[in-house]
Amino acid sequence: MNNTEKGRSQEKRACSYLKDKGYEILNRNFYSRYGEIDIIAKQQQTIVFIEVKYRESTRLTTPEEAVDYKKRRRIIKTADYYRLKNQIRDDVSCRFDVISMTQKNIVHHTNAFGYDGRNLA
């Protein structure tokens, strides 16, 4: 299995996890000229833009560490494009999550970063 296939497989696993938690999946692999958002979901009245990161081993780095400032800025620009394209009003609540995955674990970081691209934690 190549890296693209592994990524798609883990995104599918993340979607199952989210559905079990009551999220509605709106879109997968949404592309713009700025970048890609792995999963766009809805939780109650909030639109959630989700980056999925998978690592087979966490010896050197955790999956969420790969979502650096530059990556977060691309996600934010792509989210803005999605909102514009789908005519989502500015008063609709949105947030940015990261799902960190290994073979055994899923860690869901809700509100992982704000609109400025900086970590909230």
Only one residue has tokens 């999605």, namely 82
pLDDT tens-digit readout, 31-62:
999 999 999 999 999 999 999 998 776 666 77
> Which CATH number belongs to the domain containing residue 100 in this structure?
3.40.1350.10
For residue 65, what is the DSSP state? Answer: G
- Is the pLDDT score of 119 beyond 90? no
The residue length of the chain stands at 121
Q: What is the pTM of this model?
A: 0.90
The tokens describing 41, both together, are 């979901």
Is residue 95 a part of any domain in this protein?
A: yes
pLDDT tens-digit readout, 66-76:
888 999 999 99
Q: What's the whole-number average pLDDT of the chain?
A: 89
The tokens describing 66, both together, are 């790969």
Is residue 121 a part of any domain in this protein?
A: no
Residue type, position 47, single letter:
I
For residue 22, what is the DSSP state? Answer: T
Residues 94-102: what's their mean pLDDT? 94
| CB count in 10 Å sphere of residue 94 | 17
Band (pLDDT 50/70/90 cuts) for residue 117 is low
pLDDT of residue 104: 85
Is residue 119 a part of any domain in this protein?
A: no
